[in-house]
Amino acid sequence: MSNHIVESLRKEIEDFKIETKTEKVGKVLELFDGIAKVSGLSDIKSSEMVTFPNGETGVVLNLEEDAVGVIILGDFSKIKEGDEVNATGKILEIQVSDSILGRVVNAIGAPIDGKGAIKAGKTYPIEKVAPGVVTRQSVSEPVATGIKAIDAIIPIGRGQRELIIGDRQTGKTALAIDAILNQKGQNMICIYVSIGQKDSKLRKLAARLDSGGAMDYTVIVSAGASEAAAMSYIAPYSGVAIAEYFMDQGKDVLIIYDDLSKHAVAYREISLLLRRPPGREAYPGDVFYLHSRLLERACRRNQKYGGGSITALPIIETQAGDISAYIPTNVISITDGQIFLETDLFYKGIRPAVNVGSSVSRVGSSAQIKAMKKVAGTLKLDLAQFRELEAFSQFGSDLDDATKRQLERGKRSVEVLKQLQYAPVKTEHQVVTFYALTKGFMDDVPVEKIKEFEAGLIDYSERNAKVFYKDIKETKMWTDKGEEQLKKVITDFKMSFSK
Amino acid sequence: MSKISPKNIAEAIYKATEGKSGVVLAEILHRGAQMIQNKRMIGKSDEILKTLQNIQDIETGTVRAKVTTAKKISHEERNKIEHEVKEKYKGKSVVSEFFEKEELLGGMRVEVGDEVLDTSYKSALMKLKDFLIQAK
């Protein structure tokens, strides 16, 4: 046994070739809060990796006349003034391979879940120019999030960038987690990038994904609240580099950045320490580019260039619902739509607390299957009218029948869109529910019994509308025959339900 | 006007002293020192001196090398190293400093400006260590 070990080590040592070449070396002049000012290092490139004597890596961000500004990725407490810094000649990169799936890694791709080393594969640069126009294709395939309010009203397509925005404690992360949980069997790789979050929250989230069987197709990239700002700054870029690795294999990837407000704060901290001039809200001038270059890397590539897509769901936390602050407006303008979550709705018990009026998906119904388009087409308008009438009806009780009907329908729509956390609904079940709602089958069901009706209907229809389900699952089409069967099944169920 | 850097001061002093000697040179250097004090840059005097030396080296084609070895090396070996450095950096003259450092174990380390050629055994062992960690 020991001979075998010695033999394998001998072979490895034999394979090792020492390359002797001149290296660029600098010296640490100043060190403060994860930032080092280094002299020397002439000819170094921006974003180039440097190494410190204790093995830590740094990235060059500022190139000045006589010195360079380096952000240190990792423990900077052991670095001293006068330490030697070696240039590597490489732009910051991350190790990626298929075995990264199911793992929790830090911002530089090192595992932090205690499950051992990740088998090395390819290296991918963290900063990369987004795919060009010729390689892209328009978004047309849906991402089924399993959240009724989103799939029906604000559909998300593969390759889209949809912002989740709202105050603290409004269910932003929950929405993203539900979307990941619903990707089981949907041929989607998920990447959750946690930026500046509490480790306890991450632990809970990983356990939840694990118990839901979602870790098999998920990677968590984490830059915790206790880590240096530099790690938070590069975490989303590392996440998208992992996503690109899978997209290059023609796979569809869903990436969640939780959240970009903390990312911007981390970048502001680094910029101020590097003495870059502050602008609005003390953010540096290139904070828009910080997010635009990240989100532009989400795309749907055409078949000629290998297919595959990256769908991005960035999260932004607002303060007291102020979506006109600097970072929210930036990210709203970059993304292809936003899902707006409201505290008032949350406390009214409307969960997910999606404000349907302020939320929008610029890709629209092209990211919906035909059946969903057919049943949910009028839902957004109905709800908008309901909100208006609801406000108006508070002034008087004398309402005509049509208005009353609309109000009643609206109440039922709101009830149908309510959903428990971690309970994503399959697309075909959503279609059945929305069909029953929009065709008026729920109009005479009491509002408090809507949830019961919905659950019963799904169960009953699954057993009795096999043709309809087959059509939806296999062809994703809406056929007259299927509709007839569904109509009959709903009528039958309603009779038994009212008894 | 942008902030005055030590490099600006060094360049100014060099230009003012160019071609001067004797009492005139001493007077100019005295005024230079006064200017450094007036600009509150005494703390940066090391940096100014280093920059002055760099300017001088560039003008005269001097290459400064720092050679570290594990054991003392012979006069011939020193000359050989200096000759190699002169060839590589195309300098007119070489000013070298030789140091001994046992922890290098063997080989040598040559530093010219911010470039380092490290053929020491210590560095080779460190590289082997990294290689074995990566191979694992």
Alpha-carbon gap, residue B95 to B84, rounded angstroms: 13
Q: What tens digit of pLDDT does each residue of B100-111 get?
A: 999 999 999 999
Choice among A10, A168, A275, A362 that is catalytic: A362
The answer to whether the Cα torsion of A44, A49, A55, A56 is positive or negative is: positive
Chain A contact set for B114 (CB, 8 A): 24-26, 39-42
CB atoms closer than 10 angstroms to residue B28: 15
Q: Is A56:A73 a contact under the CB 8 Å cutoff?
A: yes
Position B3 confidence tier, pLDDT thresholds 50, 70, 90: confident
Burial group, residue A100, by CB count within 10 angstroms (0-12, 13-18, 19+): buried
pLDDT of residue A401: 86
The answer to whether the Cα torsion of A433, A436, A438, A440 is positive or negative is: negative
Q: Does B4 have pLDDT greater than 80?
A: yes
Judged by CB atoms closer than 8 Å, whether chains meet at A120 and B134 is answered as yes
Alpha-carbon gap, residue A48 to A64, rounded angstroms: 14
DSSP code of residue A136: B
The answer to whether the Cα torsion of A350, A352, A356, A358 is positive or negative is: positive
Give the closest of A12, A21, A25 to B132, CB-based.
A12
ipTM rounded to 2 decimals = 0.80
- My answer on whether omega of the bond before A352 falls inside 30° of 0, hence cis, is yes
Alpha-carbon gap, residue A404 to A317, rounded angstroms: 37
Alpha-carbon gap, residue A386 to A377, rounded angstroms: 16
**Amino acid at residue number A120:** A
Q: Is A166:A194 a contact under the CB 8 Å cutoff?
A: no
Give the closest of B7, B115, B128 to A16, CB-based.
B128
Give the CA distances from residue A125 to residues A48, A55, A94, A201, A293, in Å, rounded to whole numbers and listed in that order: 11, 20, 6, 29, 14
Judged by CB atoms closer than 8 Å, whether chains meet at B118 and A23 is answered as yes
pTM of the model: 0.89
Alpha-carbon gap, residue A63 to A70, rounded angstroms: 9
pLDDT of residue A394: 77
pLDDT of residue A131: 94
Q: Is A153:A287 a contact under the CB 8 Å cutoff?
A: no
Q: What tens digit of pLDDT does each residue of B10-64 get?
A: 999 999 998 888 999 999 999 999 999 998 989 989 889 989 999 999 989 999 9
Q: Does B136 have pLDDT greater than 60?
A: no
Per-window interface: A 47-66 vs B, CB < 8 A: 65-66
Q: What is the mean pLDDT of each run of 10 residues along chain A (499 residues)?
A: 80 79 91 91 92 90 91 90 92 94 95 91 93 94 94 94 95 94 94 96 94 96 94 97 97 96 97 94 96 96 95 96 94 96 93 91 86 88 86 77 89 93 91 92 92 93 87 82 90 86
Alpha-carbon gap, residue B12 to B35, rounded angstroms: 11
pLDDT of residue A1: 63
Q: Which two tokens stand for residue B47?
A: 């940096």
Chain B contact set for A16 (CB, 8 A): 127-128, 131-132
Alpha-carbon gap, residue B22 to B53, rounded angstroms: 20
- My answer on whether omega of the bond before A259 falls inside 30° of 0, hence cis, is yes
A293 in reach of chain B (CB within 8 A): no
A362 among known catalytic residues: yes
